């Protein structure tokens, strides 16, 4: 997953061959029983080696292996190049690469790093603090997220699995009661309540994602016990850090590079390698200047032949993995990667690497992607806070941590076993960690704020990013048979298989959710009774069950959202609704439409011609209201959202008018209203306010300061890190408005519940 502003990885990648089921992953041995059954049909010839462009010329001693007839890249054993010292490497990445940085051999044994140091180390961890001499691993805290959230919040979150179980049971009882009452009403009246059946079907459709998540959340009973560790000393493992970029602004990339070079890690034990897929001459010059000061700085740019697949970010990373063999000393024992805009904290490597060193089967460790340019209220739900603070820790407790695309450190041996980064997917990060789990490796999620990047600053960029993630997840799931069976997932546990199945299914579920949204204004305009019952007692039970389900759901949400923040969780719920049509359209185009009808695997692309960007978050250069509305409503297809909200509200008004015109007495009007449009918790209100998000964003986009104003920069070194304030999402007017809407719906549910005792 990539938080970079270049959300499709690079503009020139859009002309690439589209991805279909006939493409596969590169690098798996065809004689292995764990092969996939799909291959490349048009396999490119080995890429020519190009010289490095930072004053370091590549040695020609290593040539890429030939492709086998089956379509897989055959890893060539390099035993002749492996010195004796490699087998005794204290960090034991067991890579087939030769030991690198041979002028600084590691003295320590592997066993000396396994035991944790019991005495806590200093919390400062500045470069001046790092001890000289032998390395060790300090245990800073029993929990890696101890400083993120603590106190009473932990006690309440501990109740989440139990609250979730209770909420699920109550809701299933409520749905069962609804269906029972419809059947009873039909038997008593001798007519069909079609409107009631459609309404309950919509309720079930909208509830399915929550119910599936509830099943996953209940697994949080398994406590997560990952400690906060630090690697101390200077005898550290060697690491090749790749900074992948493709067309981002030079200053954005250079801020990431400078912060990476400023790691509190021995300079002779890590390299920073810019993998530039855009071949920017100005970026190359800037890296050359840095390399004059930092001997561990390199620039690489692969040759991309028009008409041949370049395989997006995965191809760029694999190119870097091949080329580091030509650097002095060969490849590193570990590989790390950063997106172009992700600024790492100074202790990043020392915080992530220990989790790989203490566990020989740990293939990959990844911290969360956090952001410093998220606007107040986060109107488009770009922050990922619910995923990184709630979902990922639960997955990590169940040994299903994902590689989320930036900030991760990976063991070279594990990469080589799966044939390096898999090709043919828009989500190479998720595919990589999934394949590693399928081979019996472990992955870890390090719940510390160790990197901060930027979210897309325009509406179109956000759509491209999120639809690319969804398509990549589904595409990977198809190729891995939804992690249910097959050689590629043979060694996965039940929880790992369930996770892979769940998140792919949730992306596909947007098809059903979008279809159900179309039905809401139709049934309201239809004017039929939405809640059927045979007698007044049944209506009472329906209202009471609905009240219990609504209140238990609110309580469950409050507990579940605590690590990320209540408002963040609510934003995520609204996001699933308004984003569903975009994801559904891309899934249909990617996996259902034939090529001659426009089918192709790609992220969302605007219709028509968009001559210039909207600059909607820059108060000085943003386009006027008319242009913003025209582009977002028509080019970005938010006209569907506008029409849905307009028609639904008109239908509610018409339905309400009918009740006042037909029903008699206060009680009759109230019962008519709640059974025809206002059934608690006023679902149409939540859906309308959620679907209105793109329109409200076009009307009143958030204003953001210049990126430089969000950073604190060292005037001498140029190293910049986000300010404390920019790392947090401010509470804004939109968050207050949605909370008001939630409060109104909850109060209405309570009032209806109370009033039901008086008729």
Instruction: Give the model's pLDDT for residue 607.
Output: 58
Please compute the mean of the pLDDT values over residues 75-98 and round it to a whole number. 34
Contact 483, 500 (CB under 8 A): yes
Window from 40-49, 326-335, 683-692, 750-759 with minimum mean pLDDT: 40-49
Query: Residue 517: is its pLDDT beyond 90?
Result: no
3-state secondary structure of 110: helix
Q: CA 128 to CA 142: how far, in whole Å?
A: 25
Please compute the mean of the pLDDT values over residues 703-711 and round it to a whole number. 95
Distance in angstroms between the alpha carbons of the first and the last residue of the chain? 55
Query: HSE (CB half, 13 Å, CA atoms) of 170?
Result: 22
131 pLDDT tier (thresholds 50, 70, 90): low
54 vs 143: which has the higher pLDDT: 143
3-state secondary structure of 39: coil
Please compute the mean of the pLDDT values over residues 529-543 and round it to a whole number. 95
**Is the domain covering 11-101+238-477 a CATH 3.90.550.10 domain?**
yes
- What letter would DSSP give residue 387? I
Closest listed residue to residue 96, CA positions, set 111, 79, 108 = 79
**pLDDT tens-digit profile of 204-223?**
877 777 777 777 777 767 78
Query: Residue 108: is its pLDDT beyond 70?
Result: no
* H or E element in which residue 568 lies: helix 566-591
Residue 706 tokens read as: 């210049």
Instruction: Give the model's pLDDT for residue 734.
Output: 85
Contact 350, 270 (CB under 8 A): no
Instruction: Give the model's pLDDT for residue 42.
Output: 32
Window from 395-399, 488-492, 711-715 with minimum mean pLDDT: 488-492
Q: CA 445 to CA 441: how far, in whole Å?
A: 14
Contact 475, 425 (CB under 8 A): yes
Backbone angles phi and psi of 6, in degrees to 5? -85, 80
Percent of the chain with pLDDT over 90: 52
Window from 278-292, 331-345, 478-492, 693-707 with minimum mean pLDDT: 478-492
Contact 674, 546 (CB under 8 A): no
Residue 267 tokens read as: 């300079």
133 vs 136: which has the higher pLDDT: 136
Contact 470, 456 (CB under 8 A): no
Instruction: Give the model's pLDDT for residue 117.
Output: 42
Query: Residue 60: is its pLDDT beyond 60?
Result: no
Q: Positive or negative, the Cα torsion across 494, 510, 380, 471?
A: positive
Q: If 0-12 CB within 10 Å is exposed, 13-18 middle and 19+ buried, where does residue 360 land?
A: middle
Instruction: Give the model's pLDDT for residue 428.
Output: 85
* Average pLDDT over the chain, rounded to an integer: 81
Contact 271, 298 (CB under 8 A): yes
Tell me the whole-structure pTM to 2 decimals: 0.82
Please compute the mean of the pLDDT values over residues 629-641 and round it to a whole number. 94
CA 714 to chain centroid = 31
Query: Residue 128: is its pLDDT beyond 80?
Result: no
Closest listed residue to residue 566, CA positions, set 554, 579, 550, 548 = 554
Contact 230, 137 (CB under 8 A): yes
Q: CA 596 to CA 593: how far, in whole Å?
A: 8
169 pLDDT tier (thresholds 50, 70, 90): very high
Backbone angles phi and psi of 387, in degrees to 5? -65, -45
Query: Residue 116: is its pLDDT beyond 60?
Result: no
DSSP assignment of 575-626 equals HHHHHHHHHHHHHHHHHTS-GGGT--------SS---S---TT-TTTPPPHH
Q: CA 311 to CA 294: how far, in whole Å?
A: 31
In the chain, domain spans: 11-101+238-477
Q: Which residues lie below 8 Å from residue 709, measured CB to CB, with a gap of 6+?
A: none
Instruction: Give the model's pLDDT for residue 225.
Output: 86
Query: Residue 38: is its pLDDT beyond 80?
Result: no
């Amino acid at each position: 997953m990539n938080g970079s502003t270049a959300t499709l990885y690079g503009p020139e990648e859009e002309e690439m061959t589209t991805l279909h089921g006939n493409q596969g992953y590169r690098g798996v041995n065809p004689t292995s029983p764990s092969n996939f059954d799909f291959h490349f049909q048009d396999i490119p010839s080995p890429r020519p080696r190009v010289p490095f462009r930072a004053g370091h010329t590549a040695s020609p001693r290593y040539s890429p292996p030939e492709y086998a007839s089956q379509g897989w890249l055959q890893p060539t054993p390099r035993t002749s190049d492996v010195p004796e010292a490699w087998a005794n490497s204290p960090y034991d990445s067991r890579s087939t690469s030769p030991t690198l940085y041979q002028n600084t051999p590691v003295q320590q044994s592997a066993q000396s790093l396994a035991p944790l140091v019991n005495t806590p180390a200093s919390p400062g961890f500045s470069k001046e603090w790092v001890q000289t001499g032998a390395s060790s691993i300090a245990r800073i805290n029993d929990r890696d997220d101890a400083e993120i959230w603590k106190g009473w919040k932990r006690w309440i979150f501990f109740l989440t699995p139990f609250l979730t179980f209770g909420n699920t049971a109550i809701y299933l009882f409520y749905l069962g009661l609804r269906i029972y009452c419809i059947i009873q009403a039909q038997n008593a009246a001798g007519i069909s309540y079609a409107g009631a059946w459609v309404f309950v079907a919509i309720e079930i459709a909208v509830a399915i994602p929550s119910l599936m998540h509830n099943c996953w959340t209940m697994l949080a009973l398994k406590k997560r016990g990952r400690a906060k560790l630090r690697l101390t000393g200077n005898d550290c493992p060697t690491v090749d850090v790749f900074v992948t970029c493709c067309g981002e602004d030079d200053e954005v990339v250079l801020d990431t590079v400078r912060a990476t070079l400023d790691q509190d890690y021995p300079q002779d034990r890590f390299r920073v390698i810019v993998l530039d897929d855009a071949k920017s001459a100005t970026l190359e010059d800037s890296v050359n200047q840095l390399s004059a000061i930092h001997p561990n700085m390199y620039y690489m740019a692969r040759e991309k032949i028009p008409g041949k697949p370049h395989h997006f970010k995965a191809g760029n990373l694999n190119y870097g993995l091949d080329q580091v063999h030509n650097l002095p000393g060969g490849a590193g024992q570990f590989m790390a990667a950063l997106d172009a805009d992700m600024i790492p904290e100074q202790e990043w490597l020392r915080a992530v690497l220990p989790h790989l060193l203490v566990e020989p089967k740990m293939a990959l460790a990844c911290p969360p992607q956090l952001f410093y340019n998220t606007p107040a209220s986060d109107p488009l739900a770009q922050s990922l806070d619910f995923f990184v603070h709630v979902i990922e820790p639960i997955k990590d407790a169940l040994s299903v941590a994902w590689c989320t695309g930036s900030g991760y450190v990976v063991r070279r041996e594990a990469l080589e076993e799966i044939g390096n980064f898999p090709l043919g997917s828009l989500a190479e990060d998720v595919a990589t960690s999934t394949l590693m789990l399928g081979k019996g490796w472990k992955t870890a999620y390090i719940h510390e704020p160790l990197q901060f990047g930027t979210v897309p600053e325009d509406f179109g960029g956000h759509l491209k990013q999120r639809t690319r993630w969804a398509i990549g997840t589904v595409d990977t799931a198809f190729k891995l048979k939804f992690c249910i069976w097959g050689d590629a997932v043979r060694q996965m546990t039940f929880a790992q298989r369930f996770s892979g199945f769940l998140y792919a299914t949730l992306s596909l579920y947007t098809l059903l959710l979008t279809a159900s949204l179309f039905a809401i204004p139709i049934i309201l305009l239809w004017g039929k009774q939405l809640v059927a019952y045979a007698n007044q007692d049944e209506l009472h039970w329906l209202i009471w069950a609905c009240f219990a389900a609504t209140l238990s759901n609110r309580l469950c949400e409050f507990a579940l959202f605590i690590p990320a923040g209540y408002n963040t969780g609510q934003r995520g719920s609204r996001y699933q609704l308004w984003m569903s049509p975009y994801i559904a359209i891309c899934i249909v185009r990617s996996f259902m439409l034939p090529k001659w009808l426009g089918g192709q695997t790609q992220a969302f692309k605007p219709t028509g011609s968009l001559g210039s960007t909207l600059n909607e978050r820059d108060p000085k250069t943003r386009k006027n209201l008319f242009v913003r509305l025209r582009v977002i409503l028509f080019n970005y297809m938010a006209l569907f959202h506008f029409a849905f909200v307009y028609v639904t509200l008109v239908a509610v008004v018409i339905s309400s008018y009918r009740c006042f015109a037909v029903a008699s007495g206060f009680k009759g009007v109230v019962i008519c209203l709640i059974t025809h449009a206002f059934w608690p918790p006023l679902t149409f209100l939540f859906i309308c306010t959620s679907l209105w998000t793109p329109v409200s964003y076009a009307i009143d986009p958030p204003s953001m300061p210049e990126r430089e104003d969000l950073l604190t920069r060292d005037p001498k070194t140029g190293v910049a890190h986000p300010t404390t304030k920019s790392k947090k999402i401010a509470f804004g007017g939109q968050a207050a408005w949605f909370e008001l809407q939630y409060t109104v719906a909850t109060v209405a549910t309570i009032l209806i519940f109370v009033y039901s005792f008086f008729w």
